[in-house]
């Protein structure tokens, strides 16, 4: 159902981390490691956010687009589904699904603006063809729930309105990981609030206990986010380029 | 959604190899195309049968690539997005989505419904010359509200309810079951990114709620209830209740004639009865025109020929309440006294449960067998339709009348036996399957196809959906 997470396709499609961290056999052949795989998805998530700033759509569209992109690469090889084209097209499709349609020609214009010297020029036609492939890869499930929806209410309830901005930022950062494919969005929201309480030195134990959610899960998600922050510092441009070069399309389609 | 991931088949493999000789994608081979049954701005609707189970009819809605070079139309995206999430007996079920990569077209496959309220009303008005019987009106309305209650409780506003979008199943184990269709304008209204009104003017003008006509920006599920009221009145009188003249070509939702028609019947809205009226843009925009004429006498009961004391009238007037915040909700309407008195509503809206009671054989949907999936006129010998005819030769009857002439469809369904009908209700609803007693009669053709229509299914039902179905008074009329 469209407004109830527990009966939604999103809920039914949640995956175990082991199912998400699988490099497609075709990608493996090209030497793509699990680390490369994660780096490329991180890069594409950042790219979607950048593109979205240019075409001026809201964060919810960005979040939906990144979720689509991550779902696509659970089943489709990056060596056949050019990640940059997939990422751009996911933003295109998400803008339609979230009722703030962006024209394909506008998108193409900004892709060229962001990457002026990219040898690989995308045409409108490439976006439109990829749109259909992505619909298939998503198995036509387009409704995505995000942690943002629960966030402001939870923050208010926890008497943490002053932490809205920092928490919102942490939620944005969770899309650099695959958390949205694995955990219910409200638990991700709680994990972000948990981190924010630690950062703000706010004692919230009682409030969390009253929620009747599995705090072990919330804490584990929080740990994952913190681990990610740590590891992100180590990512060099060279390392990222080395991963990206492996998925360069050999021949334009 | 109840069917999980396997429900809509991903046809990517078929898609990648869809140019196998005759330019016909692989997924299409599973269907026998019968012909075209509808046409809309988005594309065409076809009737087809599944080759592996010829008792099952499918309506296939083909979306053309949008002309503005912007890919899959937002209408199709909305429809897929919502229908993939919802599952209810009184809502059409999307059984498959197909993509033809060769010409970038998209196909939505629904279970086929033989009838719709537009055709049922028209049949009574133009052919039968008598009103729709009370049991049928009440059952249709109850099921429509039941489906709408499900949608609204999931924060979905349909926004385009009208008789042609309310389908009714033909013969088979879902005979007479109402299915709300056409979600091309539907929205999830929880925290919309933009005011809904920015997506352009919606809802066919005759069924459009007054707050929309007066320019409301943030409207609610109450707009659907207004439309239900209009449909209810039309079921009673066989005439559209408020038949305003639409001013075309204006992006402005203000339609004076439509408002005038409403005011004439319901009286002028007042700020007393509708406090937020003054906040609506068009209420001020044209003070002279809008507020100039005064209609005082509410004449609704005389228009629908009901006594003001009749519960049917009471329910109708609550649906046609001016103030959207006071208008009755679908959930409240289902609890209304009208549904608790005889005749009680039933699952097969077309056939009253009492043996011996008369019922009308509604004509089946005309099929234009001269149009193929590409929308091209005239079929070649290799088209699926001809092979379909060959296969169906030994079945209940010819499925296609190989003639171009315009004919009156002759209802030729099997005679229905009441006890069987009821047992079908109890058994098939649990077991879910069911062979379909009759493949749906004999499609006839007619030069001009009716408006776009579609869908249905005889597949597994979500058990929750079933229990949700039963009207509270169901027990009393089981036999």
Q: How far is A6 from chain B (nearest CA, A)?
A: 11
* Rounded CA separation B203/B246 (Å): 12
- Interface confidence, given as ipTM, is 0.88
3-class DSSP assignment, residue B157:
strand
Instruction: Write down the domain spans for chain A.
Output: 5-143, 148-232
* Rounded CA separation B395/A122 (Å): 53
Q: Is the pLDDT of residue B103 over 90?
A: no
pLDDT digits (tens, 9 = 90+) for B372-408: 777 665 444 333 333 333 333 233 333 333 333 333 3
* Structure token digits, residue B338: 């009208």
What residues of chain A lie within 8 A of the CB of B192, using their CB?
99
B291 - beta bridge partners?
Answer: none
pLDDT interval class at B249 (50, 70, 90): low
Number of A:B CB contacts under 8 A?
105
**Contact between B316 and B332 (Cβ < 8 Å):** no
**Contact between B449 and B37 (Cβ < 8 Å):** yes
Rounded-to-10 torsion of CA A92, A93, A98, A104: 30
pLDDT digits (tens, 9 = 90+) for B398-452: 333 333 333 333 333 333 333 333 333 333 333 333 333 333 333 333 333 333 3
CATH number, domain A5-143: 1.10.472.10
Find the residue in A nearest to B65 (Cα). A128
Assign 3-class secondary structure to B354-393. Answer: CCCCCCCCCCCCECECCECCCCCECCCCCCHHHHHHHHHC
B98 - beta bridge partners?
Answer: B107
**Contact between B246 and B258 (Cβ < 8 Å):** yes
Instruction: Indicate the pairing of strand B105-111 with strand B94-100.
Output: antiparallel
Any residues with CB less than 8 A from the CB of B248 and at least 6 apart, and which?
none
pLDDT digits (tens, 9 = 90+) for B192-243: 445 555 555 555 789 999 998 888 877 789 999 999 999 999 999 999 999 9
Rounded-to-10 torsion of CA B93, B99, B104, B109: -30
Q: How many other C-beta atoms lie within 10 A of the C-beta of residue B249?
A: 5
Which residues of chain A have a Cβ shorter than 8 Å from any chain B Cβ? 1-4, 7-9, 12-13, 58, 60-61, 92-93, 96-101, 103-105, 124, 127-129, 131-133, 135-137, 139-143, 149
* Helix H or strand E segment including B151: helix B134-153
B451 - beta bridge partners?
Answer: B39
* Rounded CA separation B207/B255 (Å): 12
Rounded-to-10 torsion of CA B135, B137, B143, B144: 180
Nearest by CB to residue B101, choosing from A13, A127, A132, is: A132
B178 - beta bridge partners?
Answer: B168
B138 is in an annotated binding site: no
3-class DSSP assignment, residue B33:
strand
Domains A5-143 and A148-232 share a fold: yes
Q: How far is B384 from chain A (nearest CA, A)?
A: 25
Any residues with CB less than 8 A from the CB of B143 and at least 6 apart, and which?
B90, B177, B178, B345, B347, B349
* Conformational region of residue B287, where left means phi above 0, alpha means psi within -120 to 50, and beta covers everything else: alpha
A148-232: CATH class: mainly alpha
Report, in angstroms and rounded to the nearest whole number, the Rg of chain A calculated over CA atoms.
18
Residue with tokens 């939604």: A8
3-class DSSP assignment, residue A11:
helix
* Rounded CA separation B145/B162 (Å): 13
Any residues with CB less than 8 A from the CB of B317 and at least 6 apart, and which?
B300
**Contact between A124 and A105 (Cβ < 8 Å):** yes
Find the residue in B nearest to A128 (Cα). B71
Q: How far is B148 from chain A (nearest CA, A)?
A: 13
User: Domains in chain B, please, with CATH?
Assistant: 4-114+364-477 (3.30.200.20), 115-340 (1.10.510.10)
Q: Is the pLDDT of residue B91 over 70?
A: yes
Is the CB of A135 less than 8 angstroms away from the CB of B72? yes
* Rounded CA separation B346/B238 (Å): 21
3-class DSSP assignment, residue B255:
coil
B20 versus B120: the higher-pLDDT residue is: B120
What residues of chain B lie within 8 A of the CB of A96, using their CB?
71-72, 74, 77
Closest by CA position to A13, among listed A143, A115, A177: A143
* Structure token digits, residue B87: 């599952």
* Rounded CA separation B183/B200 (Å): 15
* Rounded CA separation B35/B371 (Å): 6
pLDDT interval class at B464 (50, 70, 90): very low
Which residues of chain B have a Cβ shorter than 8 Å from any chain A Cβ? 1, 4-5, 8, 10-12, 15, 65, 69-72, 74, 77, 80-82, 84-86, 97, 99, 101, 104, 106, 154-156, 187-188, 190-194, 199
B157 - beta bridge partners?
Answer: B187
Q: Is the pLDDT of residue B251 over 70?
A: no
* Structure token digits, residue A249: 């399309």
Q: Which of B5, B8, B70 to mutate to test the interface with A (most CBs of A within 10 A)?
A: B70
Phi, psi dihedrals of residue B90, rounded to the nearest 5°: -100, 20
End-to-end CA distance of chain B: 33
Q: How far is B162 from chain A (nearest CA, A)?
A: 23
DSSP state of B451: B
Find the residue in A nearest to B188 (Cα). A2
Mean pLDDT score, B138-167:
94
Please tell me the predicted confidence (pLDDT) of residue B355. 74
**E strands present in A12-119:** none
3-class DSSP assignment, residue B273:
coil
Any residues with CB less than 8 A from the CB of A234 and at least 6 apart, and which?
none
* Rounded CA separation B51/B57 (Å): 10
Nearest by CB to residue B74, choosing from A13, A96, A127, is: A96
B5 versus B431: the higher-pLDDT residue is: B5
Is the CB of B11 less than 8 angstroms away from the CB of A136? yes
| Average pLDDT over chain B, rounded to an integer | 73
Please tell me the predicted confidence (pLDDT) of residue B29. 82
* Rounded CA separation B120/B123 (Å): 5
Find the residue in B nearest to A144 (Cα). B81
DSSP state of B279: G
* Conformational region of residue B203, where left means phi above 0, alpha means psi within -120 to 50, and beta covers everything else: left
* Rounded CA separation B184/A171 (Å): 32
Any residues with CB less than 8 A from the CB of A75 and at least 6 apart, and which?
A24, A137
3-class DSSP assignment, residue B94:
strand
Q: Is the pLDDT of residue B2 over 50?
A: no
3-class DSSP assignment, residue B100:
strand
Residue with tokens 């009755």: B328
Print pLDDT tens along chain A (253 aa). 456 888 899 999 999 999 999 999 999 999 999 999 999 999 999 999 999 999 999 999 999 999 999 999 999 999 999 999 999 999 999 999 988 889 999 999 999 888 776 666 889 999 999 999 999 999 999 999 999 988 988 999 999 989 999 999 999 999 999 999 999 999 999 999 999 999 988 888 889 989 889 999 999 999 999 999 999 888 999 999 999 988 876 554 4
Q: How many other C-beta atoms lie within 10 A of the C-beta of residue B155?
A: 16
∠ CA B461-B463-B468 to the nearest 5 degrees? 105
* Rounded CA separation B319/B321 (Å): 6
Catalytic residues of B: 160
């Amino acid at each position: 159902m469209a407004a109830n997470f527990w009966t939604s396709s999103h809920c039914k499609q949640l995956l175990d981390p082991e199912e998400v961290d699988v490099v497609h056999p075709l990608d493996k052949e090209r030497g793509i490691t699990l680390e490369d795989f994660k780096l490329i998805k991180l890069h594409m998530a950042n790219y979607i956010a950048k593109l979205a700033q240019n075409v001026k759509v809201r964060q919810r569209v960005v979040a939906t687009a990144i979720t689509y992109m991550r779902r696509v690469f659970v089943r489709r090889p990056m060596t056949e589904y050019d990640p940059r084209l997939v990422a751009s097209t996911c933003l295109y499709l998400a803008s339609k699904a979230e009722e703030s349609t962006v024209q394909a020609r506008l998108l193409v214009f900004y892709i060229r603006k962001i990457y002026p010297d990219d040898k690989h020029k995308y045409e409108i036609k490439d976006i439109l063809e990829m749109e259909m492939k992505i619909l298939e890869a998503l198995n036509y499930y387009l409704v995505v729930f995000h942690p943002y929806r629960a966030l402001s209410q939870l923050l208010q309830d926890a008497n943490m309105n002053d932490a809205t901005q920092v928490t919102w930022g942490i939620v944005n950062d969770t899309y650099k990981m695959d958390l949205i494919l694995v955990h219910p969005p409200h638990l991700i929201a709680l994990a972000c609030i948990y981190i924010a309480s630690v950062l703000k030195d706010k004692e919230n134990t009682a409030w969390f206990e009253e929620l009747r959610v599995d705090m072990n899960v919330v804490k584990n998600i929080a740990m994952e986010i913190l681990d990610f922050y740590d590891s992100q510092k180590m990512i060099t441009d060279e390392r990222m380029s080395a991963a990206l070069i492996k998925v360069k399309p050999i021949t334009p389609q | 959604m109840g069917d999980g991931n396997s429900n809509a088949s991903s046809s990517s493999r078929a898609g990648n190899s869809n140019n196998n000789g005759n330019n016909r994608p692989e997924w299409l081979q599973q269907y026998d195309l019968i012909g075209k049954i509808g046409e809309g701005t988005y594309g065409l609707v076809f009737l087809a049968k599944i080759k592996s189970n010829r008792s099952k009819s499918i309506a296939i809605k083909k979306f053309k690539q949008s002309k503005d070079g912007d890919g899959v139309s937002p209408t199709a995206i909305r429809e897929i997005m919502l229908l993939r999430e919802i599952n209810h007996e009184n809502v059409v079920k999307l059984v498959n989505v197909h993509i033809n990569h060769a010409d970038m077209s998209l196909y939505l496959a629904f279970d086929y419904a033989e009838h719709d309220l537009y055709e049922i009303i028209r049949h009574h008005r133009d052919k039968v010359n008598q009103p729709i019987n009370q049991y049928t009106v009440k059952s249709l309305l109850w099921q429509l509200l039941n489906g709408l209650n499900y949608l609204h409780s999931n924060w979905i506003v349909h926004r385009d309810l009208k008789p042609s979008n309310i389908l009714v199943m033909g013969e088979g184990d879902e005979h007479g079951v109402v299915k709300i269709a056409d979600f091309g304008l539907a929205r999830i209204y929880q925290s919309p990114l933009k005011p809904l009104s920015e997506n352009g003017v919606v809802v066919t003008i005759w069924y459009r709620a007054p707050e929309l006509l007066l320019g409301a920006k943030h409207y609610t599920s109450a707009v659907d209830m207004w439309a239900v009221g209009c449909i209810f009145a039309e079921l009673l009188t066989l005439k559209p209740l408020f038949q305003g003249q639409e001013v075309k070509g204006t992006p402005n939702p203000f339609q004076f004639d439509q408002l005038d028609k409403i005011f004439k019947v319901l009286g002028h809205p007042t700020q007393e009865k509708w406090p937020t009226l003054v906040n609506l843009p068009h209420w001020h925009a044209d003070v002279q025109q809008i507020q100039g004429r005064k209609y005082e006498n509410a004449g609704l009961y005389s228009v629908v020929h009901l006594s003001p004391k009749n519960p049917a009238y009471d329910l109708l007037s609550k649906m046609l309440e001016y103030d959207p915040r006071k208008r009755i909700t679908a959930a409240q309407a289902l609890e209304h006294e009208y549904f608790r008195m005889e005749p009680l509503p039933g699952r097969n809206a077309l056939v009253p449960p009492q043996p011996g009671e008369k019922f009308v054989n509604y004509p089946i949907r005309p099929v234009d067998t001269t149009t193929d999936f590409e929308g091209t006129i005239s079929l070649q010998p290799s088209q699926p339709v001809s092979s379909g005819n060959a296969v169906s030769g030994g079945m209940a009857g010819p499925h296609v009348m190989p003639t171009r002439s315009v004919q009156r469809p002759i209802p030729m369904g099997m005679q229905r036996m009441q006890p069987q009908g009821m047992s079908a209700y109890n058994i098939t609803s649990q077991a879910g399957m069911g062979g379909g007693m009759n493949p749906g009669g004999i499609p006839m053709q007619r030069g001009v196809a009716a408006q776009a229509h579609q869908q249905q299914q005889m597949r597994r039902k979500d058990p929750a959906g079933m229990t949700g179905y039963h009207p509270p008074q169901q027990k009393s009329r089981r036999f």
